[in-house]
Amino acid sequence: MEWNGTVVLSFGGFVEVEKYGYVYFMLLFPLYVFMLCSNGIIIVLIWTHRNLHEPMYIFIAALSINSLLFSTVIYPKLLVDVLSNEQVISYQGCLVQSFFFYCLASSDLFLLLAMAYDRYVSICRPLQYSTAMSKVTVRIFLTLAWFVPIFQMTVTIVMQSRQKVCNLMLVGFFCNATMIQIHCTTPSYLSMWTLFTLVNTAAIPMFLIFLTYMKIFINIYNSHGEVRNKAISTCLPHVMVLIMTISLNSLDILIGLLDTVISKKVSLIINMQVLVYNPLFNPIMYGLKMKEIWKHLRRLLLCRSHVGRKNIGAE
């Protein structure tokens, strides 16, 4: 389908959207608002409190920024689609959505690698921490985490944009790995570059993260008492977020490989997990498990509750 010379793709991943469109909307809209508010609160707390201006919390704020961007790239279009008679997107728009989706997913892994290194230095090399995790080091990590995925995905999207489109039906309900199925052919150079990008922005960071945490846990195992408990408590949120991120990235790749095999309902469930858990899980985990963030968050909630009671009393 073409409109004013623009190739238009259809989303085929919804299940009975004509019948349950408003149900989809009532489920997705509160989730989107909660993602915006929770991640926004984490960013504001870290920005406004000087005792949170440490490398670990700066990386957490960067993850929350990624979650905000991720939600905004996907959810507004998704909310419009579930209330529309046709779920469509232009080919150029799909490329843009795919670009941001994978840039942010790769950036998350680089940030988790930076956080793993931060924990390694803090636990295994505490005397070198101030030197190893200086402001310059943090800036370098942030720059790499955002600009390496941007560069590599830009090359990928430019290559994809030059491919001829033969299939106008996308299997899912947003633009992800299943986009490769709409092209008439996949040239070898695009396949090689995609593999190189996958290894460079996913496989290598994951391997380095696992290696780093292995060293951390060996060090924790050899320590005793309070040192061990403190190290575990600071690493636990990062490890849980890491497991969630890797699991969701693996699910997305699985959809791209098995989209013609798995049923429509199973694909919908997997896609919803990819979209919901990460931007929702990160602020909950860091807000509840990181003591300094939770302390400021609890103070904020108590202050708002006190103001509310005071206003009611005045009335």
Confidence of residue 225 (pLDDT cuts 50, 70, 90): low
Return the CA Rg of the chain. Answer: 22
Instruction: Identify the domain containing residue 277 by its residue range.
Output: 2-314
CATH number, domain containing residue 30: 1.20.1070.10
Query: Phi, psi (5° rounding) for residue 172?
Result: -95, -155
Instruction: Tell me the C-alpha distance between 183 and 194, whole Å.
Output: 15
Using DSSP's 3-state secondary structure scheme, residue 85 falls into: coil
Instruction: Tell me the C-alpha distance between 115 and 59, whole Å.
Output: 7
Contact 118/290 with Cβ under 8 angstroms? no
Instruction: Tell me the C-alpha distance between 33 and 79, whole Å.
Output: 12
Mean pLDDT of 115-131: 87
- Please report the pLDDT score of residue 239 as a whole number: 76
Contact 149/102 with Cβ under 8 angstroms? yes
- Backbone φ/ψ region at 225: left (φ over 0), alpha (ψ -120 to 50), beta: left
Contact 13/171 with Cβ under 8 angstroms? yes
Higher pLDDT, 238 or 217: 217
Q: Tell me: the pLDDT tens digits for 6-45? A: 788 888 777 777 787 888 899 889 989 988 988 888 888 8
Q: What's the total number of domains in the chain?
A: 1
- Please report the pLDDT score of residue 268 as a whole number: 73
Q: Residue 191 corresponds to which tokens in the numbers above?
A: 């396949």
